[in-house]
Amino acid sequence: MSPLCFLCSLLLTVFPPFTSPSPTILFQGFNWESCNKKGGWYNFLKKRIPDIASAGITHVWLRPPSQSAAPQAFAGYMPGRLYDLNASSYGSQNELKSLIQAFNKKGIKCLADIVINHRTAEKKDSRGIWCIFEGGTPDKRLDWGPSFICRHDTTYSDGRGHPDSGEPFGPAPDIDHLNPRVQKELSDWMNWLKTEIGFDGWRFDFVKGYAPSITRLYMKNTMPHFAVAEKWDSLSYRQDGKLDGRQDAHRRNLKYWVQAAGGAVTAFDFTTKGILQAAVQGELWRLKDSSGKPPGFIGLLPQNAVTFIDNHDTGSTQRLWPFPSDKVMLGYAYILTHPGTPSIFYDHLFDWVLKKEIGKLAAIRTKNGINTTSRVNILASQSDLYVAAIDDKIITKIGPKMDLRNLIPRNFKVATSGKDYAVWQKK
């Protein structure tokens, strides 16, 4: 090899050629009641794969796969024997592998819900406290005792663990993620989920429970294709209960967390959700910040933002913070045409029979190459009208106002529309 060829090869290795981000669309493949599906959720969801693929989905987020000590609806979110995937409320290990393989055949990657902040014990110790953990294997992997619990979790710990590096979690023991054995054995388990089960990435549950440096470590040790974290903090509200007009501190906290976690992981954009569900109720002026950009996390780090309308906590049968039910399609018209990685909720695609409308928006996104870093030019942001051009390829309109004056150029045509929303693309 000539010196010139060697240099070129070296440069391409160290500095890979830049390629535009490909459109990624996430799908939450379950709701709060999935554990109650007769015949198992894995088998049921497998039958839905053709519809999921036709909606333009590229990644599917599945529920926590391990044995769980919690009641049915909480199944997976109070994990115990992490390697035991046959005691899941959603189906067997083989059924899960078959589901993932079927998704892969359609070019869809699967994310495992990683619940590692806390863990339920298998039995009591000599003190009569539930703090003896079993991993679900014949050997000692993930077999821990009370010293593997954070020191300040006095309900379960024996005081020998490290201090908790994040927020406490009352219902179950807080795992000591500063313990080197915890870090190694959880990393090994996650890599097993990749190599043996077929997962390609992660959804990290309750990352507020441990320091962002811990997420950075697990990202480095497991190298997922895609990962998103749940960092759910309350937004800022006025004394009258209405959402504050600015949420800069909230989205900056998301930005700081992502950066402290190494920058490779994404985070659910709770800022955009909160602003958007207030905006669609006659306050569309909220969708433009003081710099003329989107006001959520997508206005700061769109490449690290995962936008969504609802999930199993905020919506479904829990309804902890639901999007206005009659405005859901306005929400999807926004997130499926704007930067960030949009996430579609199972209930909306299937139970609400919105597959056709959502699918049209997803197809427009894919066709026009709208991606995580697409440029947004906000043309109007009034109480009853929001109009934005994205990458100069599509124009999105939200709101009941019909008088658009000269906002839509003549070389754009309507690509899809519904009640109080429309999207144009170039002819």
Annotated catalytic residues are 205, 230
How close are the terminal C-alpha atoms of the chain, in Å? 49
Q: List helix spans (H) across 281-398.
A: 328-335, 346, 355-367
Cα–Cα distance measured from residue 388 to residue 395, given in angstroms and rounded to the nearest whole number: 6
Nearest to 55 by CA among 26, 84, 30, 85: 26
Spatial neighbors of 4 by CB under 8 A, at least 6 apart, are none
- H or E element in which residue 343 lies: strand 341-345
Cα-Cα-Cα-Cα dihedral sign, residues 54, 57, 59, 63:
negative
Q: What is the DSSP letter of 34?
A: G
Nearest to 338 by CA among 395, 289, 379: 395
Nearest to 301 by CA among 273, 343, 339, 344: 339
Neighbouring C-beta atoms of residue 411, cutoff 10 Å: 8
SS (H, E, C) 348-409: HHHHCCCHHHHHHHHHHHHHCCCCCCCCEEEEEECCCCEEEEECCCEEEEECCCCCCCCCCC
Spatial neighbors of 317 by CB under 8 A, at least 6 apart, are 31, 32, 33, 73
Nearest to 88 by CA among 108, 111, 107, 62: 62
Pair 119, 66: CB distance under 8 Å = no
Neighbouring C-beta atoms of residue 149, cutoff 10 Å: 32
Q: Where are the beta strands (DSSP E) in 115-252?
A: 123-124, 130-132, 201-204, 226-229
Query: Alpha carbon of 45 to those of 37, 164, 201, 215, 392: distances in Å?
Result: 10, 38, 19, 29, 37
